[in-house]
């Protein structure tokens, strides 16, 4: 309590200090502004940070990791096969008439199947790629690699339907084609040569 009374007394004394008393304590001449000095700075050149390109092989690694952990011998609960989880009907449609074991034991064959699927889907969706790439459609940034990833997940027909109606297809695990459009968008794919890298 004594400390509180002491604080109130000090505040009271300060309140009764006159303007003249305060002014006598401050040297007004010290408050005059100093002249402004111009400083010339050398320009700083900042080099852009180089980010790794999202290459074709990076796209395949990303999709393969999502589908199977990049394992060629995996069969999921729905019967989809290999690194990219191909259905038997899709493989037949692409012209691959091989047994389940032949497919699972042949990484080169799986890579060729993926390359052929990407090319087939690109041809089927080319009109949409040309018209919408780089634009936001239904809240999603459209890129070639994103559309082809979505077509891999749900079929090229489901991607066309999404453009026309906004309907979003899901796979058997409940994964939406739009999540693949976003996750795998922006890769630079090389689908013109036989080189799969």
CATH code of domain 56-183: 1.10.530.10
pLDDT band at 195 (very low <50, low <70, confident <90, very high): very low
Compute the distance between CA of residue 190 and CA of residue 197 in angstroms, rounded to an integer.
8
- List, in sequence order, the alpha helices (H) in the chain: 2-15, 19-25, 56-68, 88-93, 100-104, 107-132, 144-154, 156-165, 177-183
**Per-residue DSSP letters for 7-39?**
HHHHHHHHHT--HHHHHHHS-GGGGSPPPP---
The two tokens of residue 104 are: 């699972």
pLDDT at residue 92 greater than cutoff 70: yes
pLDDT in tens, 128-182: 999 999 999 999 999 999 999 999 999 999 999 999 999 999 988 889 999 999 9
The two tokens of residue 128 are: 């949409």
Q: What are the extents of the domains in the chain?
A: 56-183
């Amino acid at each position: 309590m004594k400390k509180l009374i002491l604080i109130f007394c000090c505040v009271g004394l300060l309140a009764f200090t006159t303007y003249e008393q305060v002014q006598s304590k401050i040297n007004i001449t010290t408050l005059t502004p100093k002249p402004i000095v111009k400083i010339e700075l050398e320009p700083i050149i900042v080099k852009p940070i180089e980010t790794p390109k999202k290459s074709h092989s990076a796209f395949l690694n990303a999709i393969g990791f999502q589908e199977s952990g990049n394992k060629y011998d995996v069969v999921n609960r729905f019967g989809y096969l290999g690194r990219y989880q191909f259905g038997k009907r899709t493989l037949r449609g692409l012209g691959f008439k091989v047994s389940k074991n032949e497919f699972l034991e042949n990484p080169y064959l799986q890579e060729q199947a993926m390359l052929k699927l990407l090319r087939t889907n690109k041809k089927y969706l080319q009109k949409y790629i040309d018209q919408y790439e780089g634009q936001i459609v239904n809240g999603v940034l459209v890129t070639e690699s994103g559309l082809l990833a979505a077509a891999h997940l749900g079929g090229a027909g489901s991607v066309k339907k999404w453009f026309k109606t906004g309907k979003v297809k899901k796979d058997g695990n409940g994964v939406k084609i739009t999540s693949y459009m976003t996750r795998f968008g922006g890769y630079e794919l090389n689908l013109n040569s036989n080189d799969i890298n």
